[in-house]
A and B are shown apart, each in its own frame.
Chain A
């Protein structure tokens, strides 16, 4: 199946604009994707017709809001093939989901002398919560290095796995390199060593079909806003037995079943981990994004994105003043690069004035920048609505930067 990109673009109102008199070329999808009308309309409809608090009203609106919120949970369960909706906890996003695991599961299971093993290509949100945990518990953070192509060195990873390893944190699709990690294999190795695995799926779900049971992941986390959904909502998937045993993360309303001043009984999972009024509109928008992805077919969208990436990589190769950072054999959606003599930040500004939105910086993966000994990279990241023509404009516009700095 192929997609009709023109009609797909029509579904994204934001793409219809010009910036600085040029048509907008949005290539910062790894930071956040744009939203189709279906998602925007679902949120609007919720506020116009169904707005009420969830899980606590007997009136019609509250019942509709609750049903919409819980339907979204079911859609996510289905998307990642979790065994039960009780394994899906809504969070503010990937970052909060990882912090939830590090605090709740981590404090209960990690002891002095234990180790948390992560890769060198993790996002700061899959580094810092573990550092904090290690500080609290007297545990050690161990890092598995990557190759100069930006691939995990599996032998090095194995060498760092031991009976001390409590948990492995691994990114599914790297936001700064585009690398797709062999997650199922990593999980098998970790399980053999007796460690649990958290997979950072922030970038993955918009570009890959994910089956958490096939992967064997103990925890899988993601954010709606990187998969055509709204900001401020994401989820934690955790295998039921793990989640059942985990202590609450935050206390408050909704997460309890009975409260006296002497003792509080907690609500069942997943509600035990959703204290306070949640982001109801966000969840409903998230559900609409999942519907949208399913209707288009993630694989179909991904095929188009792969062609874009291949084309962009080919154009990059033709420039002798350009170095691509991240050349893994198995990669998706991300082209990170540096241009000789031109700092990524300057390039970002110059492209911006051509209407092209890219990201320039360390992409919240400073250790990756340190590995490649660059202060920053320019990053073009593709989504389903991008076109070959846009890639041509991007590469032609590099000449503008070369001209300025000649």
Chain B
């Protein structure tokens, strides 16, 4: 039987309450905005790319549901200090995880804490809440200033 805690795991509730890397980033060299027209969630991500093509620093701000807030917070934790290539891999893995078959157990070794978001698979209307920040970050990484959308 399904349990709401599959979706709202404590980690998600905590990150929603006190999101990490929240606020403007001083000295950001990339900014992107994301928008989910379904629920009106808005997100802005800030990025500073280091000379070695790594994500030197990252932050986000915005307002949205617990899933979108927690997902953004967890994402910033996961990619801070990582090479850009690693972000691209994680983005692919994350997208796979949240759209994969329910029978598939998320690869916790690869996904780390992000695995807590696998619960959205049970809630098709909520998958976009979890992926909004990733789409937005992709736009920032690619230096695309246009507003990212979930559709």
Q: For the complex, what is the distance from the CA of A369 to the CA of B40, rounded to whole Å?
A: 10
Q: Which residues of A contact B107 (CB under 8 A)?
A: none
Residues of B within 8 A of A345 (CB): 39, 41, 64-65, 67, 126, 129
Q: Is the CB of A360 within 8 A of B66?
A: no
Q: Which residues of B contact A366 (CB under 8 A)?
A: 40
Interface size class for chain A?
20 to 34
Q: Is the CB of B39 within 8 A of A376?
A: yes
With contact pairs A349-B123, A353-B4, A405-B13 given, residues A361 and B66 touching in the complex (Cβ less than 8 Å): no
Q: Mark B49-87, 1 if CB is under 8 A from A, else 0.
A: 000000000000001111100000000000000000000
Contact with A along B22-51 (1 / 0, CB 8 A): 000000000000000011111000000000
Q: Which residue of B lies closest to A345 (CB)?
A: B65
Number of cross-chain contacts by CB at 8 Å: 53
Is B63 a contact partner of A375 (Cβ separation < 8 A)? Answer: yes
A20 within 8 A of B: yes
Confirm or deny: B133 has a beta carbon within 8 angstroms of a beta carbon on chain A: no
CA distance A231 to B42 in the complex (A): 31
* Neighbour of B4 across the interface among A362, A376, A404, CB < 8 A: A404
Asked if B67 and A376 sit within 8 Å, CB to CB, the answer is: no
CA distance A346 to B8 in the complex (A): 9
- Selected from B5, B7, B16, B38, the residue in CB contact (under 8 A) with A361 is B38
Contact present for A346 and B66 (CB under 8 Å):
yes
A104 to B123 Cα, complex, angstroms: 43
Chain B residues positioned under 8 Å from A20 (CB to CB): 2
Minimum CB–CB distance from B74 to chain A (whole Å) comes to: 16
Chain A residues within 8 Å of B38, by CB? 361
- Nearest neighbor of B1 in chain A, beta-carbon distance: A21
Is B13 a contact of A376 with CB atoms below 8 Å?
Answer: no
A362 to B39, CA, bound (A): 7
A365 to chain B, nearest CB (A): 11
B41 to chain A, nearest CB (A): 7
Given A349-B7, A349-B126, A353-B4: A404 and B40 within 8 A (CB)?
A: no
B: residues with CB less than 8 A from A are 1-2, 4-5, 7-8, 13, 16-17, 38-42, 63-67, 123, 125-126, 129
Please name the 10 residue pairs, one residue from A and one from B, whose CB atoms are nearest each other, closest first.
A345-B65, A343-B65, A404-B8, A362-B40, A346-B66, A346-B65, A345-B39, A375-B40, A361-B39, A375-B63
Q: List 8 A-B contacts (CB under 8 A).
A: A343-B66, A345-B41, A345-B64, A345-B65, A346-B8, A360-B39, A405-B13, A405-B16
